[in-house]
Amino acid sequence: MSEAATMEAVQPSTAEIPVLECRNLCISYFTRAGEIPAVVDFNMKLMPGEAQGIVGESGCGKSTVALAIMQYMGKNGRVVGGEILFEGRDMRTMSEEELRQIRGSKIAMVYQEPMASLNPAMTIGDQLAEVPIFHESVSKDEALSRAGKMLESVRLPDPERILSSYPHQISGGQQQRVVIAMALLSNPKLLLLDEPTTALDVTVEAGIVELIKDIAAEFGTSMIYISHNLGLILETCDRITVMYSGEAVEVGSIKDVFDAMRHPYTRGLFASIPVPGADKNSHPLVSIPGQLPLPHQRPPGCNFGPRCEFFVKDRCDVGSIPMVEISNGSHHASRCVRVDEIDWDSTIGAGDESEPTVPGDVVLKVDDMTKHYEIEKGALFFSGEKHTVKANEKLNFDAREAETVAIVGESGCGKSTFAKVLMGLETATDGSVALGNLDLAEMPVDRRGPETISKLQMVFQNPFDTLNPSHTVGGQIARVIRKFGAETDEKKVKARVMELLDIVKLPRDFAKRRPRQLSGGQKQRVGIARAFAGNPSVVIADEPVSALDVSVQAAVTELLMDIQRENRTTLLFISHDLSVVRYLADRIVVMYLGQIMEQGTTDEIFSPPYHPYTEALLSAVPIANTHVKKRKVLLTGEIPSPSNPPKGCPFSTRCPYMIAGTCDTIPPPMVEFSTGHRIACHLPREELAAMEPVIQIEKEPARVA
């Protein structure tokens, strides 16, 4: 209490004192292998009301910084140097009790996985009420009523019900709102957000991001927003710190860093993410060569040196590289010794342009394909009511030779079921899937010949799962070759394995390695080699790069495109990420709850008329470009469960244009706008056609010259 009073007294002067300041912060983990520096020489100054973004790839130390601020490092972590000043006091000198009083009341945190962050055995009300009870010593009733009010201000419907629920009874988006409410309950000075939306679907993410922005405005809370997504940082923050391999490499205002970046890594990062204006033929992505160094294998000098195109021997690889202020004097700094020499306006090493490929004949034709699952509730003598999950409902589309068709949708949209039917692990309930003139819909994989199987292959999502950890890389590729009968002679099999490794640009001696010796990107390359081993005509790629680091994503995407172009393979690219899809797809199929909402060429999908769901999806995707202006379309509610879909249009429960009495009872008609561009919607043609574009580019961004 007395502390709060003194706080009041010094209030006027706190405007100049930063809420948080990190000075030369160094954090290490101590493991069996010795000391591993996680964060080195980290500086940050956060003023009241300011929002600071920290961006970086996995292992760059961004989450470590957040936990260090909280003074919660686990058994192995320790701050080995520097200071963390919270309102001018060094947190490292505080006692456990002082820290406890600050945690949750002055500094609060929002975590990456809301489900795991909430106690499964306590009601949400109890968990929320603890904050006021222990920080402000209020009664339980008072605490609960405050919690209820806070739930309202994070826009959760029916707070009373949520207060008495357990975490698993509400959806992921709602859980994250609860965690945010918990963080805000004591009106903290500083809010730490550690990838708060990574585990959520795009349209749900958009709602949370909007909420976070409103909080900043409404409560005047200072924020540190940690993310790997530059687009999200752009939407939420004032300033940004780019981290690479344990170091901050560039710090500045959003505008400076996004439009006039002064570090080769930042530059490379931006060049490897697809933004409007980039497409696979005329503006291919440029990936950063090499891979992230492991923390105990960092190079001398600049950590980014080995991957940098401006690397100069004996300058970049000696000593420690200091952070230097950029001359324009707007607190913009870069950790690059050559910052004043590099011509930052030059176009980044040109990616190879290529002619657009001309699609051939239809290879794959999906006609009214339907997949229902029967779920029986309660087995063994209690024959419960049967329950139908409509995983796929009357899918219609086709794919041509050498064409890339993207299937876009959020969780529960039925894309993985579709892949399973296609691969023959499930059989369709109805309709047909024709590969050439062979109907695969009711042909499970064990009835398909090796010829058919090799025609249809798949690249999987999770690099850590795609290869069997018990067998060598070469052995796994060779098995596919033998299985498909492409080669039978052992020598030729071996030669083919080597050839495939060459194609995916991996060293030949990787054949003898086991998957655990490979990085995520390398595993994904092996996965691609495996898929292309039998010269397939159709390859399904299920989010092949979404689990990879941004700087590696571009290289793998480009590789996939190159091999496809060369072999004239049809690529079905399953993704939730519209920016990637816009970059590489020729045609797009938008799915929601097992049904196709809209399909057409990439241009048609990205410009009006839109299906209302496509419109919301486009608006939700964060884009890392300051020149892109987006029209806000916010969805309310959550994605319904596929086992209990709405009666009429599946999107009717969240659709801003919902026509009561029509959309919620009658399935929407398919409206054809041009050949191949079809929208399933009740809205009149004219209204759809009159929609305004969601994404507008103010002016041609300078760097995409």
Partner 1 sequence: MLKLIGRRLIQMVLIILVASLLLFVIFDTPQFKKRLAVQELGGFAVSALSEADYQEWLASRGLDVPFYQRYTDWMGNILTGDFGFSYEKNTEVGPLLASRLANTGILALCVFALMIPISLTLGVLSGMREGSPLDRSITFISVFTTSIPEIATAIILTVVLALGLGWLPAKSAMIQGFDVKQLVLPVMTLVIYDFGYVARMTRASMAEVMTSQYIRTAILKGIPYRRVVMKHALRNALIAPFTVIVLQLNWLLSGVVVVEVFFEYDGFGKLLLEAALFPDVEVVQACTLAAVVVAVTSQIISDVGYTFLNPRIRFS
Partner 2 sequence: MAVVTAPPPSVSLMHRLKNPKAAVTIFVIAWLPLMLYVMGGSALMAAIEDLTGFRPNADYILLPAIPAVLLLYVICISAFRESAIAIIGATLVFFWFFIAVTAPYLPLLDPNKPIAPFVPPFTAKNDVFFILGTDFKGRDMLSRTLWGCQRVLVWGVSATFVAYIVGTAFGLIAGYISGWWDEIISFLGNVILSFPVMVLFIVILNYLGASGFNIVIAVTFASAPAIMRIVRGLALDVKTRDYVFAAQTRGESALWIMVVELLPNVRGPIIVDACLRLGYTTVAITTLTFLGLGLQPPDPDWGLMIKESAKTAMLFKFSYMLLIPALSVSSLILGFNLMADGLREMSMRD
Of 40 and 680, the one with the shorter C-beta distance to partner 2 is 40
Binding-site member from 119, 468, 636, 665 for partner 2 (CB under 8 A): 468
532's contact among partner 1, partner 2, none, with CB below 5 to 8 A by partner kind, is none
Q: Pick what 102 binds: partner 2, partner 1, none; C-beta below 5 to 8 Å, kind-dependent.
A: partner 1
User: What span, in angstroms and rounded, lies between the C-alpha atoms of 219 and 46?
Assistant: 16
- Could you tell me if 284 and 558 are in contact, meaning their C-beta atoms sit under 8 angstroms apart? yes
Residues between 413 and 432 with contacts to partner 2, criterion CB under 8 A? 423-425
Q: What CA–CA distance (Å, rounded) separates 39 from 73? A: 12
Beta carbon of residue 58, minimum distance to partner 2 (angstroms, whole number) = 8
Judge if the upstream peptide bond of residue 609 is cis by omega within 30 degrees of 0: yes
Among 470, 636, 641, 644, binds partner 2 (CB under 8 A): 470
Report the alpha-carbon distance of residue 248 to residue 269 in Å, rounded. 14
Binder of partner 2 out of 309, 465, 672, 698 (CB under 8 A):
465
What element of type H or E holds 597? strand 595-601
Q: Which range binds partner 2 by CB under 8 A, 55-63, 115-123, 387-395, 569-577? A: 55-63
Number of residues binding to partner 2, judged by CB under 8 A: 53
Rounded to 10 degrees, the C-alpha dihedral 68/71/74/76 comes to 60
C-beta of 111 vs 270, nearer to partner 2:
111
- Of 70-78, 147-155, 199-207, 552-560, the segment contacting partner 2 by CB under 8 A is 70-78
Of 378, 137, 150, 342, give the one whose Cα is nearest residue 250: 342
Picked from partner 1, partner 2, none, the partner binding residue 236 (CB below 5 to 8 A depending on kind) is none
Q: How many Cβ atoms from other residues are within 10 Å of residue 213's Cβ?
A: 15
Determine, following the binding rule CB under 8 A, whether residue 59 of this chain makes contact with partner 2: yes
| Nearest residue to 299 via CA among 319, 281, 327, 283 | 319
Under 8 Å CB-to-CB from 142, ≥6 apart: which residues?
Answer: 132
Among 270, 484, 583, 651, binds partner 2 (CB under 8 A): 484
* Shortest Å, Cβ 93 to partner 1: 18
Report if residue 116 touches partner 2, rule: CB under 8 A: no
CB 39 within 8 A of CB 65: yes
CA–CA separation, 203 and 172 (whole Å): 12
Among residues 19, 20, 25, 38, the one that binds partner 2 under rule CB under 8 A:
38
**Contact by Cβ (8 Å): 82, 23:** yes
DSSP E strand stretches across 59-151? 77-86, 89-90, 107-110
Binding partner of 386, given partner 1, partner 2, none, CB within 5-8 angstroms per partner class: none
Quote the strand ranges of 353-455, DSSP E.
Answer: 362-376, 386-400, 404-408, 430-435, 438-439
376 forms part of the interface with partner 2 (CB under 8 A): no
**β-strand pairing of 538-542 with 362-376:** unpaired
Minimum distance of partner 1 from residue 18's CB (angstroms): 21
What is the closest distance, in whole angstroms, from the C-beta atom of residue 180 to partner 1 in the complex? 12
What character string, x for contact with partner 2 (CB under 8 A) and - otherwise, covers 286-325? ------x-xxx-----------------------------
Over the range 380-409, which residues count as b (16 or more CB within 10 Å of their CB) and which as e? eeeeeeeeebbbbbbbebbbbbbbbbbbbb
594 binds partner 2 (CB under 8 A): no
User: What is the contact mask toward partner 2 in residues 504 to 543, using x (rule: CB under 8 A)?
Assistant: ------------xx-x----------x-------------
Sorted by sequence, the CB contacts under 8 Å of residue 33 that are 6+ apart come out as 296
- Given partner 2, partner 1, none, residue 109, with its beta carbon under 5 to 8 Å by kind, binds partner 1
**Which positions lie near partner 1, rule CB under 8 A?**
70, 72, 75, 100-105, 108-109, 111, 113, 116-122, 130-131, 134-135, 166, 168-169, 179, 182, 378, 380-382
Interface contacts to partner 2, rule CB under 8 A: 29, 31-32, 36-39, 58-59, 61, 63-64, 67, 74, 76-77, 194, 246, 292, 294-296, 423-425, 445-446, 448, 450, 453-454, 456-458, 460-462, 464-471, 476, 480, 483-484, 516-517, 519, 530
